[in-house]
Amino acid sequence: MKKTDITREVLEMHTENLLLKAIDEVSAELKNGVPAELQSEIDRLISKSNSSEIPSSNNVVAFASKRPQKQLHTFGETELLAASGLSLADWFSQPMNFVGAGFILDIRKVLGTEHEVDVYLTSNNNNAEKMTDSLGSYLGKSVHIIVSNNENELLDAVLYIDETGTAAEGSGKLIEQPESVNVKGEISISIVINMKGSD
């Protein structure tokens, strides 16, 4: 048998009766047209609204909307020794050894696409434990990574890190750089930390 919330139904009936009563009262008052006193007040307010000036916005300071900042945890850095070409795909054509973090970053362009890549982290043969230490907080998880050079983001990808922390793979996109940007020096790889209240 279906349970009925009597209290809720009584309240709904009471609310409906009050609403109908109010409608009846308004209808009765306006039966012979709008009372002169009410019409006079309406006219006064309309006149005041039409005559009032729109406030100047010259003294209003516009604040730029604050874009949520990415919080990054950098867990590997390496020095880019020389360019192998002008495009990002050429820069990443050879695996990069992040000695301090104990892994090698291998980026392979997906055939038939312009910017899509497959991304692999593999343990440097002599540093398997170091790679596990570098990725220890993310074992068995998918993570959002950014590869950057001098704060310019070059690659955005999602990687799954295996339970041992000695391998990771995923996919992402190369971020094409303006011609004015000179990619050289240090390359860093960072995990994007999700912040509460940001998107």
What's the average model confidence in pLDDT over 20-39? 74
Q: How confident is the model at residue 197 (pLDDT cuts 50, 70, 90)?
A: very low
Distance (Å, whole) CA 49 – CA 32:
27
| pLDDT tens-digit readout, 46-75 | 777 666 655 555 555 555 545 556 688 888
Q: How confident is the model at residue 140 (pLDDT cuts 50, 70, 90)?
A: very high
The three state secondary structure string of 132-178 is HHHCHHHCCCEEEEEEEECCEEEEEEEEEECCCCCEEEEEEEECCCC
Is residue 132 predicted with pLDDT exceeding 70?
Answer: yes
The pLDDT of residue 128: 81
**What is the separation of C-alpha 126 from the centre of its chain, rounded to a whole number of angstroms?**
38
Domain parsing of the chain, residue ranges: 6-50, 71-193
Is residue 158 predicted with pLDDT exceeding 90?
Answer: yes
The pLDDT of residue 87: 56
- Tokens standing for 38? 């009410």
| pLDDT tens-digit readout, 72-113 | 888 888 876 654 445 565 667 788 888 888 888 898 888 888
| pLDDT tens-digit readout, 17-26 | 888 888 888 7
**Which H or E run includes 121?**
strand 116-123
Q: What is the C-alpha R_g of the chain?
A: 33
pTM of the model: 0.57
Looking at the chain, the whole-number percentage of residues with pLDDT higher than 70 is 70
Q: What sign results for the dihedral spanned by CA atoms 23, 25, 27, 29?
A: negative
Q: How confident is the model at residue 199 (pLDDT cuts 50, 70, 90)?
A: very low
Residues 6+ apart with CB under 8 A from 68: 195, 198, 199
